[in-house]
Amino acid sequence: MTNQLLNNFLLLEEGQTPPSETTLPPRQPQWFDTFSYIADPDQFCRQNLAKYGPIFKTGVFGETTVFVGSAKVNQMAFNGDQHYTEIALPPTTMDMFGQYSLFQRTDLHRSRKSALSPAFTGKMLEGYLPLINQVVLEGIQSWKTTDLLSVFPAVEKICFDVLVPLLLGVDLNQKDSLKGLPISSKTELKALYKTFFDGFYGLVKWKSPLTVYGRGYQAREKLLDFMGSVIQQRRAQGEVINSQADFLSMMLAGQEENPTGVFQDIFIKNQCLLQLWASHYEICGLVSSLIYQIGRHPEVKKRLVQEQIEVMGEQTSDKMITSQQLKAMVFLEATIKETLRTLSPSSTVNRRLTKSVVLDGVLYQKGWVLIAEQRIAHILPEHFKQPDVFDPERFLSPRNEGKMYEFIAFGGGVHACLGAQLAMLITKVFACYLLQLLNWEVTQAASFVQFPLKRLKSNYQIPIHSRATA
Ligand code: HEM
């Protein structure tokens, strides 16, 4: 267990008193903390960090919630499953996850995660590349370069078209792909998915069309029904399953190999939806923030364009970008990480302590919620030098900043993101075509939606020009 690696870590059994020199995290929870945090989470974290350091108590979400950011405490927060933490999410969110998510059943977490992992690594990712290339290229080519581009909606449209075939196994670009299924159009599917996504954040646990949660739950049922029909249709076609084709096929092939194993229909249907939930808006947020950050930093853009020329040579954009080429684009990878560091779409990792623990002489009491906050971890000078400067170089040798538990855009430890490599792959392909085809510059600071994910506001626009005509 990871925390055996932590020095000065003590797990307190019921009734055990902490060592005499133990202290509590600074700051008293305040009644207005939830409002202050939601109104401006960046400022809330920065102000408290400046005053109290990287660990402080708050009353955010109506209980004692300890914000943490330094690597060692993040490590402790990330690795307590089944020992001293549980997932701390509202009951509505847990209900929307359902019992087949990786968060709900910590006892089954390891076996489920290792069964799902092959779909998001190595050969499988390589197999996804032709589709990602094609859909992203066609999507960007359809943008009107004489107009202002509404960045987030434009990116969102493409991401949906990439992720639905990869995760739900339904190729929306094929004519009649929805024929015989209980959802008849892409528009309907997209609207249901949005309602499903929003349902995770509805706080009133009343299954009624009048509540966000109720509508979300209803959408969930319809989407599960839809996935059931997709599976039935696949079976009816009787074709040999190509386990490498998409996430759904990988699971169906797993079921064929071991009919009583992890991959039961109910699990498969839920996983398709859950992975779409986990990925779509996160990747949209990341890609649109990347467009913004590149536009804000012309010197970074110049290096990225140079790297494209070095790696791609004379290759034109009608040829697929290969995984070898993507691997060679180290400055692009660093720029994506720097975007994740500065404008990470997902903000918090919440865990409730089921036992009291002492780390480095600080007591974290049973019942408190720990929030490992990127807004703190990513601006700590001991993790990142000159944190307020946008500088992709920091992730490259010799600086190599952003070690494990310091850079936490994809979480860390037991529940580290399953789809991090897929997210990086899609974002890289997106960035390559953008750099090859378009010119854009950002002169004004944008405002961002902060919850549930951080992203550019939908009405934020930038002028784009074709590189050919620039
Ligand atoms: C920019 C894109 C993404 C970001 C920023 C992101 C971020 C995160 C973070 C911070 C966590 C940890 C949550 C926690 O510990 O409470 C996480 C977990 C997870 N992510 Fe992602 N994610 C992204 C893309 C994806 C994609 C593409 C997939 C799958 C298709 C995915 C699937 C998951 C899953 C299944 C977990 C839970 C893993 C577990 O419980 O072991 N994510 N992600």
Considering only residues 316 and 202, tell me which one the structure prediction assigns the higher pLDDT: 202
Q: Is 272 in the pocket of ligand 1 (CB under 6 A)?
A: no
CA of 125 to the centre of ligand 1 (A): 16
ipTM, 2 dp: 1.00
Residue 40 has a pLDDT of 95
Atom of ligand 1 nearest to the CA of 344: 5
Atom of ligand 1 nearest to the CA of 427: 1
What does the pLDDT look like over 139-148, one tens digit per residue?
999 998 888 9
Q: How far apart are CA 36 and CA 23, in angstroms?
A: 26
**What is the identity of the amino acid at 80?**
G
- How large a percentage of the chain has pLDDT more than 70? 98
The domains located in the chain, with CATH, are 2-466 (1.10.630.10)
Least confidently predicted of 70-79, 293-302, 318-327, 355-364:
318-327
Q: Is 113 in the pocket of ligand 1 (CB under 6 A)?
A: yes
Query: Is the per-residue pLDDT at 315 higher than 80?
Result: no
Q: Is 377 in the pocket of ligand 1 (CB under 6 A)?
A: no
Average pLDDT for residues 317-324, to the nearest whole number? Answer: 88
- Can you tell me whether residue 366 is helix, strand or coil? coil
Query: At 469, is the pLDDT very low, low, confident or very high (cuts 50, 70, 90)?
Result: low
Kind of pairing between the strands at 65-68 and 369-373? parallel
Q: Is 411 in the pocket of ligand 1 (CB under 6 A)?
A: yes
CA of 410 to the centre of ligand 1 (A): 6
Average pLDDT for residues 187-192, to the nearest whole number? Answer: 96
Average pLDDT for residues 106-134, to the nearest whole number? Answer: 96
Annotated binding site for heme: which residue ranges?
417
Strands (E), 5-54: 9-12
Q: How far apart are CA 451 and CA 445, in angstroms?
A: 19
What does the pLDDT look like over 26-55, one tens digit per residue?
999 999 999 999 999 999 999 999 999 999
What does the pLDDT look like over 216-240, one tens digit per residue?
999 999 999 999 999 999 999 989 9
Q: Is 423 in the pocket of ligand 1 (CB under 6 A)?
A: yes
Residue 5 has a pLDDT of 59
Q: Which helix (H) or strand (E) holds 150?
A: strand 148-150
Q: Which two tokens stand for residue 80?
A: 């307590």
Q: Give the closest residue to 429 by CA, choosing from 297, 326, 316.
A: 326
Q: Is 286 in the pocket of ligand 1 (CB under 6 A)?
A: yes
Q: Whose CA is nearest to atom 42 of ligand 1?
A: 419
CA of 409 to the centre of ligand 1 (A): 9
Q: How far apart are CA 71 and CA 88, in angstroms?
A: 20
Query: Is the per-residue pLDDT at 189 higher than 60?
Result: yes
Residue 2 has a pLDDT of 47
Atom of ligand 1 nearest to the CA of 285: 1
Query: At 4, is the pLDDT very low, low, confident or very high (cuts 50, 70, 90)?
Result: low
Choice from 164, 418, 424 to test ligand 1 binding pocket (greatest atom count within 8 A of CB): 418
Q: Which helix (H) or strand (E) holds 356?
A: strand 356-359
Q: Is 213 in the pocket of ligand 1 (CB under 6 A)?
A: no
Looking at every residue in the chain, the average pLDDT score rounds to 95
Query: Hey, what's the torsion of the CAs at 365, 367, 48, 54, to 10 degrees?
Result: 50
